[in-house]
A and B are shown apart, each in its own frame.
Chain A
Amino acid sequence: MAFQILLNVFLAFVWMFLTVSFNGASFLIGYLIGLLIIFILRRFFHSRFYLIPLFVIVKLVFIFLKELLLSNIAVVKVVLNRSLDIRPGIFALPTELEKDWEVTVLSLLITLTPGTLVLDVSEDGRTLYIHALDVPDVKETIKSIKESFEKTIMEVSQ
């Protein structure tokens, strides 16, 4: 992916040198033309056309923001509830992600999810230990949320 971006920037520079106009606008035009060329030649690259993972990353950022808002509402609800009827607990979650940065992003997302906090990651990086604010009713739904997170992160690194 990084190689394709670099190639695209290089093509934009080539366009600037071909037209002998060195400014932002011609860089932009060259970049768009380079994008088209890379799209046409996409089957010669090992990874996918680089706009796809880029869009998935943008999607991930929006998921982050949404989860941050939702988790704040959840925590405020717990704090302002008159009776403190929460049941905290720790549960293990097996993960299929392999690279270190993927596990890091997943645990960041989990920490920002309503009512969950990553306590520890096992040494082989295959199990996450999660402290949940309210175990009985959240556990299943949270598991499904995490499966969607995991899927999105896998989509980025295919």
Chain B
Amino acid sequence: MKEIANILVMIFILSGSLLTLLSAIGVIRLPDVYTRSHAIGKSTTLGIMSILLGTFLYFFINDNHFEAPLLLSIAFVFMTSPVASHLISRAAYYSRVELWEKTVRDDLKHKRNEG
């Protein structure tokens, strides 16, 4: 039983670090701020959450120790990370950072030009 649970811990931590690596690759490969913020805001969130969950399960199974702060930090990361990526890309947009080749751009363009 312990072995099976430890395999689960391994899967969580490995997939979390893999996702973090992939989002780092995404930051290098994607062309502009906004698409990069897609890669950062999503993959890193799930990556960190999965690493934290793996750590929590590890201590819970092996040491029988219920580490509640880890669960809390999962909730905090989950709530704050989308807001952070929203704020960063919004600030970038209003400081006139150029977009890559784009197709549709709506009303927001007028708003930026007048402000």
Contacts and interface: CB of A to CB of B under 8 A. Distances in A.
Interface of A: 64, 68-69, 71-72, 75-76, 78-80, 84, 86-92, 107-108, 111-112, 115, 117-120, 127, 129, 131, 133, 135-136, 139
Contact of A117 (B86, B106, B108): B86
A75 B39 contact: yes
Interface in B1-51: 19, 22-23, 25-26, 29-32, 34-35, 37-39, 41-43, 45-46
B35 A86 contact: yes
Interface in B46-61: 46
B85 A76 contact: no
Given A88-B99, A133-B35, A133-B38, A111 B108 contact: no
B72 interface: no
B86 A111 contact: yes
Contacts, number: 106
Contacts of A119: 34, 86, 89-90, 93, 108
B63 interface: no
B96 interface: no
Leading 9 A-B pairs by shortest Cβ distance = A111-B82, A89-B104, A79-B26, A92-B106, A89-B103, A129-B108, A71-B42, A72-B46, A131-B34
Interface residues of B, number: 40
Interface of B: 19, 22-23, 25-26, 29-32, 34-35, 37-39, 41-43, 45-46, 78-79, 82-83, 85-86, 89-90, 93, 99-109, 111
B42 A88 contact: no
A108 B83 contact: yes
A115 B38 contact: yes
A70 to B, nearest CB: 10
